[in-house]
């Protein structure tokens, strides 16, 4: 069974998650932090990081079991294990923040997401079910509280007027042309801007740019929103 491999002498605490497998190295914590930053700052819902979440949850649960076991066996190491316990709590907090951020965005844009197959594919199965249930419950509440008392043409939860509205004009659509702060993890070369201009994006530089121009870089993991 695995034991702690980190120490206080300059070794990052997240190294205790590293079992020497490239897919499960301590870099996965950095990946979680980037995922949280991107999700909080992107105007649209991003693809669910299923492998990252599953990997981290399994590792944290295993290390929590080892922590409890070692604490019973080696009381003298209590301080060291308290520090590791705090690190595990930090990772669990980041995971919860990732989930909460996604749920808030889904609640705000539920109608839009449900009407777009590509957006639905970005969600986990539980998120898909949550979005569907939230939209039904919110719509039922709105109808019972207000819409059922209005003229028939004004009772839709997605249109201001059944006969006059151009499309589902009450559906909130993410503003993909909103400006974001962005940095790239490595040089990605030039990307096209408006009016035939280009931007040379180099690592370790900060850019303010329309999200739509860097969305593919964000989803591929090449760019981080800050």
What pLDDT score does 115 carry? 93
Q: CATH number of 179-225: 1.10.101, 3.40.1000, 3.40.5, 1.10.357?
A: 3.40.5
The b-or-e profile of 13-25 (16+ CB within 10 A means b, else e) is: bbebbbeeeeeeb
Rounded to an integer, what distance in angstroms lies between the CA atom of residue 51 and that of residue 109?
25
Q: How many helices (H) and strands (E) does the chain have?
A: 7, 5
Q: Are 108 and 29 in contact (CB under 8 A)?
A: no
In the chain, CATH 1.20.58.1030 covers 13-108
For residues 119 and 201, what is the distance between their CA atoms, to the nearest angstrom?
27
| CA dist 91 → 27, 54, 86, 111 (Å) | 13, 13, 9, 32
- Give pLDDT tens digits along the chain (226 positions): 333 333 323 334 444 555 544 444 468 899 999 999 999 999 999 999 999 999 999 999 988 888 777 656 666 677 778 888 898 999 999 999 999 999 999 999 999 999 999 999 999 999 999 999 999 999 999 888 988 888 888 888 887 776 665 677 788 899 999 999 999 999 999 998 887 889 999 998 999 999 999 999 999 999 999 9
> Quick check: helix, strand or coil at residue 138?
helix
Beta strand pairing status for 223-225 and 189-192?
unpaired
**What confidence score (pLDDT) does residue 85 get?**
87
The separation between the first and the last C-alpha atoms of the chain, rounded to the nearest angstrom, is 39
In a 13 Å sphere around the CA of 184, the CA atoms on its Cβ side amount to 20
Residue ranges, CATH 3.40.5, the chain: 179-225
Reported CATH class of domain 13-108: mainly alpha
């Amino acid at each position: 069974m695995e034991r702690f491999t980190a120490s206080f002498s300059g070794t990052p605490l997240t190294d205790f998650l590293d079992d020497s497998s490239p897919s499960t190295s301590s870099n996965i914590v950095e990946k979680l932090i980037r995922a949280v930053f991107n999700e909080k700052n992107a105007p649209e819902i991003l693809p669910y990081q299923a492998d990252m979440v599953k990997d981290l949850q399994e590792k944290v649960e295993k290390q929590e079991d080892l922590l409890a076991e070692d604490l019973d066996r080696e009381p003298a190491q209590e301080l060291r294990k308290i520090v590791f316990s705090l690190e595990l709590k930090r990772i669990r907090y980041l995971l919860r923040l990732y989930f909460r951020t996604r749920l808030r965005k889904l609640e705000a844009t539920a109608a839009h997401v449900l009407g777009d197959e590509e957006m639905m594919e970005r969600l986990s199965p539980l998120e898909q079910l949550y979005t569907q249930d939230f939209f039904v419950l919110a719509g039922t509440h709105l109808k019972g509280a207000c819409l059922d008392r209005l003229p028939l043409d004004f009772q839709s939860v997605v249109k201001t007027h059944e006969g006059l509205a151009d499309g589902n004009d009450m559906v909130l659509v993410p503003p993909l042309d909103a400006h974001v702060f962005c940095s790239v993890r490595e040089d990605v070369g030039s990307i096209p801007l408006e009016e035939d201009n280009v931007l040379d994006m180099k690592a370790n530089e900060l850019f303010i740019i329309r999200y739509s121009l860097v969305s593919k870089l964000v989803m591929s993991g090449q760019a981080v929103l800050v």
